[in-house]
Amino acid sequence: MRLFSILTICCSAATCFAQGTTTPAALTTDSSDREIMQHLYQHEMNQTQTAALAEQFPDMTRERAYTIQKSRLAEHTKTDQHVGWKLGWTRYTGPEEPLDPIMGHYLSQRVYTEGKPVSTRFFTAGTANAEPEIVFYLKKDLRGPVVTRAQVIDAIDSVGIAMEFVNWRVTEPRSRAHAIADNGIAAGVVLGEQRFSVDELDFESIEGRVTVNGEQTNSGKATSIMNEDPVAGIVWAANELPKRGMYLKAGQFIVSGTVCVPLPVSAGDSAEIEFTGMGSLQVEFVE
């Protein structure tokens, strides 16, 4: 299933109204969910960070954070297409930090084509972290809240690799709820063109790595995702989204989370990801 003829559409006036340096409206403890959403989005457009969530909403709940993210999705799908999801904090690093994943979403304007330079226009202060990830493409809906692994595998059309970019638009002290409200701190994703059947992949033998400027490299195993494999992340997402009144749909993709500590990139840099038996993906960054 191919869904990415939409990825080269131009930014509309409605969704890009905030580009530039418009000062975001201040937030107070009485600010509405919509006002928080607009405040965060304006900082994203300005490539700046905000202290407002740390100051005004230090104890924001995940329920409210997902409501804010959902309002962003509803607003921006008026002029753009919702094409995918992203998982965050799915990498297991040890018993000292139990798994506690979150979700964000992707519209077509932040999905970039392999082989083309990526602009740092939406990176905070021009910098983001590059993550090597495994991405799944769906051919069937997955309507939780009780979706099994077998049902997820049956719904997967194909599997590929992706380089995702993330960065915080909120200052410390910050929480997972703040990340959720900030759309999972998503800044963009490049999807590799090569596709695989899930049946031909042995996740236990797959390792991914990210390298920046041919020098600094980090790597990790696919089995670090959910302390099992990336499919387990899709199972979690399929059963989590219905709690938020949504579900995974046929034609969408899901990036399953970084397999290692990401590396920072900015204009002028070159980054590469590589996965065992799944190929590589190179990206050049421009302003």
Closest CA to 89 of 17, 196, 176, 2: 176
Question: Which pLDDT value is given to residue 170?
Answer: 98
Dihedral of alpha carbons 230, 191, 128, 169, sign: negative
**How many domains does the chain fold into?**
1
Could you tell me if residue 116 is left (phi over 0), alpha (psi between -120 and 50 degrees) or otherwise beta?
beta
Closest CA to 286 of 120, 126, 46: 120
Question: Which pLDDT value is given to residue 120?
Answer: 98
Question: Which pLDDT value is given to residue 8?
Answer: 32
pTM flag (> 0.85): yes
Q: Chain-wide mean pLDDT for the chain?
A: 93
d(CA 230, CA 220): 13
Question: Which pLDDT value is given to residue 12?
Answer: 31
CB count within 10 Å of CB 217 equals 13
The domain of 190 spans 4-286
- Find out whether the peptide bond into 262 is cis, omega within 30 degrees of 0: no
Question: Which pLDDT value is given to residue 131?
Answer: 98
Question: Is there a contact between 275 and 207 (Cβ–Cβ < 8 Å)?
Answer: yes
Based on C-alpha coordinates, what's the Rg of the chain?
A: 18
* Residues of the chain predicted below pLDDT 70: 1-20
Concatenating the DSSP letter of every residue in the chain gives ---GGGGGPPPPTTTTTTTTTPPPPP--TT--HHHHHHHHHHHHHHT--BSHHHHH-TT--HHHHHHHHHHHHHHHTTTS-EEEEEEES-B---TTS----EEEEEEGGGEEETTS-EE-TTSGGGEEEEEEEEEEEESS-B--SS--HHHHHHHEEEEEEEEEEE--SBPSS--HHHHHHTGGGEEEEEE-S--B-GGG--GGG-EEEEEETTTEEEEEEGGGBTTT-HHHHHHHHHHHGGGGT--B-TT-EEEEEESS--EEEETT-EEEEEETTTEEEEEEEE-
CATH code of the domain containing 89: 3.90.850.10
Question: Which pLDDT value is given to residue 17?
Answer: 36
Question: Which pLDDT value is given to residue 228?
Answer: 98
d(CA 226, CA 210): 20
Tell me the percentage of the chain whose pLDDT exceeds 70: 93
